[in-house]
Chain A
């Protein structure tokens, strides 16, 4: 039992935290948001220079060789700064998929520019009809000539409008909710028949809806084995869920710190409001929610690293529930303890609240993961 970090991990943490402290002030973030991509491409390049875009990739392809703990450290630091760059989309979900499942040619073509920041990817799975489900996919890929033709709709594709290429889940066989028959395809952002409609999200990030109307793909656009992608989709969504959990832990800890600082200095009735017990106790409950979310996220990291798929799924769901509930609790009470200032766009706390609440809309919400955990929970055999 050892919760300490290695020297390498501590250095990585320092690097990311310093970057966030230097480059992610409130005003700086506002400027990044105004850019067409919704983030700062210079900063993205800086992340590449610092080696951050290679964190989950193996050293022989030029990466850092990090696992879930390293991901957690990066994402937690990003959460403290409400970082806008497409790290989850490009590196942790789509990028990791290529690194693990891509053909030799796909890896040779994409990993280097991915790590150097020139190539950005996004993962397109969610559809109007599948909420957070893993295997319900209506988008179809028809085999034609020497390739495939994709038709369907995707929504809420995180950073889908700034990605150069998209990894799209589509059905090559089976009915809409079959686990069998799911495949993964690489689609260029400029492909004929693809319409990408980008939009801002409520937390200041960006996402896109995709219309795929007979998008023609060559055979080598397929990632992994045809019809066998269900487990990979599940793993990728779990990686995304875990990443935003770690991000949320960072955002929750900042939201707690900001609120604590505020209730120490804000005076009413001649005294700091932090001297009032009703406020103290709420603040304590916020801290407990943070620690519980952190614990659950650490367990998910461990299970992603060395657990069975079943253990991984349970631990990720448990973390997403803790983070969903705890994040909302801290957001709502953070605003409440601030009073009016907590309602204003020009103050930083509410932006943490918005990100924390919106995280529940990504990679499965509390209800989704509670049900998933519930279905997997150990129960005595029925007599």
Chain B
């Protein structure tokens, strides 16, 4: 047992660090550090910088333009990016539809779609959830009926993250309404410019607009945009959910936020001394750091197993549960540390880094970020669903 990184891994970390120092635009890292809103252009700009370096797709094999990195390398890259406050890469193309196309798409689809994901020429969104199909995803109702060499799609998707910017949507649709619910589903790629698609942003509790409702009304989708076989979509959907869950613990992000919490607690004063010197508050930070250190080791244990060829599988569910619980508590404590200044709601300043606002800087987003991050235990398979997965797959219940 040796929990140190190898010299090669250490050198790789240095390389990533040096790259970030040189290439990560300051305006972007500052927006991430202070939790400001990113524009579409911000996200595309960063993806193109990574693409030019050849690091556009850390999780992909080299034959599709990926880095071919090991699980440990991917983890190091993700951690360094988070610590440097780099924007997250969008998962919808890279971690979701990309791997599905690689595994089940035909050659034409691979050639057409995969390169444009890495280069950020196409922005993808996910058409999974529906008003009546959340955790019970297979009960989805959006219909696709064959009409010559097209499908006619009718229905409604929801919670579609950043769908307002999307060029393409990968979409689960029902192609056989008479089959059992998992068996009549197909996986379609839909051009968002197709007539009949309406995107309506949903305002979230913190005032942000990152998710959308998507209405599909007689949307004509060419049959060539079907991935794999008709009615096999559920298999692909499950593959997608099980794929590329490394990084799900969010260790790097949690470390960056812990550092920020400590900075805030050092600046804020209570009884005339820094809040971080308050024993009760400090002990709560310590407890979180202890949890995070253990999570980091748990994450590395899973990664090492993946590196040796074991599938991450249901262990990833533990990482998701613990990682999101820690992050929510970090945002909770950042909000609390910010004190009465966290009351003021100043959305203009959150959206525009040039706009004036009443400070301090960290108090501006403390409450909105806390509220916004209630989502992380809900999305990507709610933590209750993760517990069901562990219960079934690990415990055999």
Contacts and interface: CB of A to CB of B under 8 A. Distances in A.
Interface of A: 1-5, 9, 69, 260, 263-264, 274-275, 277, 280-281, 283-285, 287-288, 291-293, 295-296, 298-299, 301-302, 315, 317-318, 321-322, 370-371, 373-374, 377-383
Interface stretch (B113-121, B237-245, B260-268): B260-268
B355 to A, nearest CB: 26
A264 B96 CA distance: 36
Q: Report, nearest first, the 9 A-B pairs whose CB atoms are least far apart.
A: A295-B297, A374-B286, A280-B391, A296-B294, A292-B294, A295-B298, A284-B387, A318-B290, A295-B294
B248 to A, nearest CB: 14
Contact of A1 (B2, B295, B390): B2
B1 A374 contact: no
A370 B384 contact: no
B262 A379 contact: yes
Given A1-B300, A1-B307, A383-B267, 7 more contacts: A2-B1, A3-B1, A274-B397, A292-B291, A295-B295, A321-B290, A380-B259
A69 B388 contact: no
B217 to A, nearest CB: 38
B18 interface: no
A9 B3 CA distance: 16
Nearest to B70: A1
Q: Which one of B6, B259, B293, B298 has the greatest number of beta carbons of chain A within 10 Å?
A: B293
Nearest to A68: B1
Interface string B354-391: 00000000000000000000000000000010011011
11 contacts: A2-B304, A260-B397, A275-B397, A280-B387, A283-B391, A288-B322, A291-B318, A299-B297, A315-B293, A317-B290, A377-B289
Interface string B246-263: 000000000000010011
B205 to A, nearest CB: 26
A277 to B, nearest CB: 7
A379 B281 CA distance: 13
Given A3-B301, A373-B290, A374-B286, A283 B397 contact: yes
A112 to B, nearest CB: 30
A370 B290 CA distance: 9
Nearest to A274: B397
Contacts of A291: 298, 318
A260 B391 CA distance: 10
B294 A293 contact: yes
B52 to A, nearest CB: 30
Nearest to A317: B290
Nearest to B266: A380
Contacts of B286: 370-371, 373-374, 377
Nearest to A4: B1
B293 A287 contact: no
A51 to B, nearest CB: 20
A283 B395 contact: yes
A263 B388 CA distance: 15
B6 A1 contact: yes
Nearest to A256: B395
Contacts of B285: 374, 377
A4 to B, nearest CB: 7
Contacts of B390: 284, 287
A298 B3 contact: yes
Contacts of B219: none
B12 interface: no
A1 B304 contact: yes
A69 B387 CA distance: 31
B5 A264 contact: no
A307 to B, nearest CB: 11
Contacts of A382: 266, 274
B72 interface: yes
Most buried by A among B2, B6, B262: B2
Contacts of A1: 2-6, 9, 72, 300, 303-304, 307
B294 A318 contact: yes
A378 B259 CA distance: 9
A374 B283 contact: yes
Contacts of A5: 1
A263 B301 contact: no
A9 to B, nearest CB: 8
A2 B263 CA distance: 34
Given A1-B9, A284-B390, A379-B262, A321 B298 contact: no
B103 interface: no
B53 interface: no
B50 interface: no
Contacts of A296: 290, 293-294, 297
Nearest to B384: A281
Among B279, B287, B384, B396, max chain A CB count under 10 A is at B287
Contacts of A69: 1
Nearest to A263: B397
A338 to B, nearest CB: 16
A287 B3 CA distance: 22
Nearest to A369: B290
A2 B6 CA distance: 9
